[in-house]
Each structure stands twice: as C-alpha cells, then as structure tokens.
A and B are shown apart, each in its own frame.
Chain A
Amino acid sequence: MQYQSQAVAKPYFIAAIGLFVGQIIFGLIMGYQYVVGDFLFPEIPFNVARMVHTNLLIVWLLFGFMGATHYLIPEEAETELFSPKLGLITFWVFLVAGALTIVGYLMVPYATLAAMTGNDLLPTMGREFLEQPLITKVGIVIVVLTFLFNISMTVLKGRKTSISLVLLVGLWGLAIFFLFSFYNPSNLVLDKYFWWWTVHLWVEGVWELILGAMLAFVLIKVTGVDREVIEKWLYVIIAMTLITGIIGTGHHYFWIGTPEYWQWFGSVFSALEPIPFFMMTVFAFNMVNRRRREHPNKAATLWALGTGVMAFLGAGVWGFLHTLAPVNFFTHGTQVTAAHGHMAFYGAYVMVNLAMISYAMPMLRGRTANSGAAQTLEMWSFWLMTVSIVFITLFLTAAGILQVWLQRMGDTPMGFMAAQDQIMIFYWLREITGFVFLLGLVMYIWSFFCKKGEAQTAA
C-alpha cells in the first residue's frame, strides 16, 4: 500500500464479500423453490427471495467498484484521497441504507413497504432490479454523488491517467443513468423503454468502463507491462463497448411495443457486442504473456485472466446465442435469459471485483501477496465457483431450450406450469451445482484466514 488513504477500500471489500454470501444463500433458496414450490412459503415468497438475490448482487458489486476506486485512484493520481473521512462516511451510510432496505423486503409485505416509504409521492418501486423504496433510491444518489465528489477532487489534484479518467467516466455515467430509475410513467411502453436506460446502459455500457479500468489497473500491477500499451488496449476495448453497446440497447426493444426497425438495429449491433469481450480476453492473456515481472500474487493473475474468458463466454457468447431477433422471438423471457444473466454477471462483474480484491486485499493487510497455501486455497475457490457457474449456465440453457420447445413451438403448445414440470430435472441439477458454488465461496473466504505458510512482504 503506497498511500495511507487507500485503507478506505478495506471496509468496502469486506462488505462486498459479506453481501455476496447473502446473495448466494438467497439464490439457493430460490433455486430450491423452483423444485419444491412451497418452500418457505409464505414467510419468504419467491418474489421476495429474488428481489433480495438481485438487489444484493447490485449492491455488493457497487461496494466492490467503490472499494476498487478508493484503492486505485490514490495510486493512479499519486496522491492521498481528497477526504478519507468522507470515504468512510459514504461507506457506513451505504451499508446501513442497504441493510435497512433488505430488512424491509424481508419483514413486511412489499405493498406495506411501499406505503411506509412514501412510494405514492413518486411511484418508482416494483420494477425489476429497481425495487428499492424511494428513500433508498434517493440515498443511493446522495451516496454516489458524495463518493464521486471525493474521487473527482482526488483526481483533479493529482496525476491524471487514462485509467482514472475512464473509471471516472464510467462512475459518472453510472450516477447519471441511475436517474432514469426515478422516471416511471403510467404508460408501460415508455416505462420499459427508459427502464433500460438504467439497466442496459449500466451493465452493457458504463459498468464495462469501470470493469475495463479495474482490469487494466490489476494487469499493470501484476505484469509490469508498459502503461502506454495497456491504456491503448483499454481505449480500444471500451470504444468497441460503446460503439456496439449503445445501439445494442435495441435488443431489448424487439417486443415491448417499439417499432420493428429495432429488430434490425438491435440484432446487428448486439451481434457485435462480443467483440470487446473477445478483445478483453486477448488483452489479458497477451499482457500476462508479455509480463516483465513475476508478481508473487498468482491468484490475482488467475482472476484477471478468468475475467476475460468468462466475460467473453457469459456476456459475449451466451448473449449472442439469443440476441438475434428471429431467435429472441422464441427465447425472450425464458430460462435462456436466466442462463445468460448468471454467467454474464459472474464472468464480468463478480470476477473483476474478485480480481481487484485478490490483488488489493493482501496489500491492505501489509503484504505483497498471501502465502502459497492461502493462494492455493483461493485458486481452488476460483475453479469451484467458475466451473459451477458454467454448469449452472449449461443446465439453465438446457431448461430454456426445452421450455421453448414445449411451450412456444408446435401445434399443441403446453401451458407454462406443465412445461415447467417437464424440465424439473435441470432445476434439480442447477440447485445441486449451486451448493458447489457455495462451497467455493466458503473456501474463498477461508483463504483470507489461512494461517499456513509465509506471506510475502517484498515485491
């Protein structure tokens, strides 16, 4: 750790991992409800479990991004944070607000929560991923703006690298596009159209800039490759991301009431969306092959390489699988979508956060890298979680293809629930694989407490 204020990152990383555990537990509950429908009913209905699962994901990824930012910006800007105290205040406000929101989801019926939190003043709740009460949404805006002020001031007073500029553009974009979550017209088509301006322009837009900046930072550190080379790659990758991804929003505008020309725009541009992810994979492997130093943190390097490969598979390949309009006509809103969602989020955003944490956490704990034994454990957790998510994705894809075949093709299509009963075996396999994922996550956490072997203190 080169700057004292980088320590602000530590609580963010710890909270991120803690919420990650919660996300997986609720994922397992939902997965079990898919096979035993009345599990935990009426205490935790499926919709509540799902809301907790997806909201925890979003919040812990944001904690990860914020932790990463607090860690890498001082090193990039070569100066202490503008205000470490502000960094800690935003952490606690965000954590308490997030925890209260989750407690609210679990303790009272959603309609009661909406009434209690003033949803009638400005109805924004009850839309997928944006279920948070109005006060939580306002809280998120305040937290993010405070955080952005702190980070922007730090960059302004220090060295301005391409990595920090790209990260800042990504984070400001995140804040700006979140504002569309406050727009909820009573016309469902308009509601859906602009809902995607938050959801799509986050995950297939500005978040990818954050991802790119984080990956570039880790690669510079672990490979020692010249910054000019890495930053040139970064710009090319994120250029392709936005060139394909902005109009690629059109793949959500096929069947929601929007004009038919979106089928062309959406299909063509989103068919190109795998390109930046493929470049990311080539980039990561290329940089590691051309490395100028042998960094003792092998686990961080593995996560960085894994991010490239899994983001390409999950976001790129599995996205392309169902993005062409004639295909999407049949797969839209089936388990195929769920399959893609799981591998894309894991491969891109979970893994880049874990790569960053893997690199930064030992530094924050006063060492260059963890002991060999701890790294071995961490690499086992990498393989367990990654292989599990691949199989979860394959099982959900199989379920989705069968669902399409039974429910949407042929002259005598089955009803929804009848089709679900036919594909139960794949839901069982998915749930069992989910427990392997949890085992991987437990090993990951265990690796932080591994006392065996000597930690490395000199680079």
Chain B
Amino acid sequence: MSETFTKAMARNIFYGGAVFFFLLFLGLTFDTMQQLPGRDHRENITDSVVRGKHLWETNNCIGCHTLLGEGAYFAPELGNVYARRGGPFIKAWIAAQPTGSPGRRQMPNFNLNDQQLDDLVAFFKWTGEINTAKWPPNIEG
C-alpha cells in the first residue's frame, strides 16, 4: 500500500466504519422490533407454547433437528412439522421412539407425559404460523 495512505488513516476507517455500521445495525434492529409483533403473532404465545419451547430446549432437540432451518441437519425440519404431520401424529411419533430398526437413525425416548406432548405440539403449531417469508420451499422442509 502506498505511503500516502497512513496507518492512522487505516485506523480511523476501522473505528469510524465499525461505529457507523454498528449504529446502522442498531437502527435496523429497532425497526425490526417494531415490525415483529405483526409477523410472529406473539399474542398467540400461550403458557402451553412457553412450556413447549422449554421442553424443546431442555431435551436438546436442536442437536438433531433444524427449526426454521437452524440447528443440526441429522433429522427433519420441524418449523413446519405441524402442517406436515398434524398434532396427533407428532404425539404418537415422539411417544413411539426409538424405532429400534437396525442401522437406522434413532431418536431417544424422552419420557414425556401427555401434557408435555400437547405443549410441544402447541409450540410447533405457533412456530408454524410465524411469517417466514414463505420458507421452507415446500412441505418437506
């Protein structure tokens, strides 16, 4: 790099650029926070949804599945599982694990009671209603 472009100039671009773009990021975040209530339908977050999310977390479901595309890629996307399978199927599926078929991927049994299964379904149902800009591309997730 040329002699006219000094280290002090480079340093100023660094500090100035970092501050400017972080402030822009904060501004966009502020605007996003204003828009989110219309997109996440938070008025539908019931106690059951809250408990469902807690179960989702404390059983580390994200360690195999994706949820809205984030997580591990070992097992199916669950952001739209309510639309794909429906509540009764989801409950029966979770309760029936593991399948035990030799050589196939296995999901542990988490010993959830009926109330907890309902909570998880409520969480999946609410998640499926988030406005995700039409993602995923199709029902298979």
Contacts and interface: CB of A to CB of B under 8 A. Distances in A.
Interface of A: 30, 33-34, 36-38, 41-42, 45-48, 50-51, 109-111, 114-115, 119, 123, 125-128, 131, 162, 184, 186-193, 228-229, 231-233, 235-236, 238-239, 242-243, 246-247, 249-250, 253-263, 265, 329-330, 332-335, 337-338, 407-409, 413-417, 419
Nearest to A416: B76
Given A51-B60, A189-B36, A236-B10, A45 B137 contact: no
Contacts of B75: 46, 416
Contacts of B45: 186-187
Interface string B30-49: 01100110011010010001
Given A38-B105, A111-B59, A126-B58, A255 B36 contact: no
Contacts of A260: 133
A42 B18 CA distance: 48
A37 B49 CA distance: 31
A51 B140 CA distance: 26
Contacts of A30: 74
B9 to A, nearest CB: 8
B90 interface: no
Interface in B38-96: 39-40, 42, 45, 49-50, 53-54, 56-64, 66-77
Given A127-B57, A186-B45, A413-B140, A333 B132 contact: no
A248 to B, nearest CB: 9
Given A238-B14, A257-B36, A46 B135 contact: no
A171 B104 CA distance: 43
Nearest to B53: A186
Contacts of A190: 36, 40
Contacts of A417: 76, 105
Contacts of B39: 189, 257-259
Given A188-B67, A242-B22, 8 more contacts: A38-B104, A45-B107, A50-B63, A109-B108, A193-B29, A231-B7, A260-B133, A333-B71
A235 B13 contact: yes
Given A162-B7, A247-B21, A47 B106 contact: no
Given A232-B6, A254-B135, A50 B32 contact: no
Contacts of A242: 14, 17-18, 21-22
Given A187-B42, A255-B132, A329-B137, A110 B58 contact: yes
- Per CB-CB distance, the 5 closest pairs between chain A and chain B, nearest first, are A47-B63, A126-B57, A333-B69, A37-B105, A235-B10
Nearest to B15: A239
Nearest to B131: A257
A192 B79 CA distance: 13
B73 to A, nearest CB: 6
B74 to A, nearest CB: 5
A243 B104 contact: no
Nearest to B31: A259
A78 B49 CA distance: 57
Given A333-B71, A417-B76, A123 B57 contact: yes
Contacts of A34: 74
Nearest to B135: A255
A47 B21 contact: no
A229 B130 CA distance: 51
B39 to A, nearest CB: 5
A45 B7 contact: no
B141 A47 contact: no
B106 A189 contact: no
B43 to A, nearest CB: 11
Contacts of B17: 239, 242-243
A345 B104 CA distance: 29
B127 A111 contact: no
A394 B64 CA distance: 22
A235 B17 CA distance: 11
Nearest to B20: A243
A235 B133 contact: no
26 contacts: A33-B105, A37-B103, A38-B106, A41-B106, A42-B108, A45-B107, A46-B63, A50-B63, A114-B57, A114-B58, A127-B57, A128-B62, A186-B45, A186-B49, A188-B68, A188-B127, A189-B130, A193-B32, A232-B10, A235-B13, A236-B14, A242-B17, A242-B18, A246-B22, A257-B40, A416-B141
A259 B132 CA distance: 9
Nearest to B76: A416
B25 A257 contact: no
A258 B36 contact: yes
Contacts of A255: 68-69, 132-133, 135-136
B129 to A, nearest CB: 10
Contact of A263 (B18, B105, B133): B133
Contacts of A229: 1
Contacts of A246: 18, 21-22, 24-25
A333 B77 contact: yes
B110 A111 contact: yes
B21 to A, nearest CB: 4
B71 A128 contact: yes
B105 to A, nearest CB: 3
A337 B17 CA distance: 29
Contact of A42 (B11, B53, B72, B98): B98
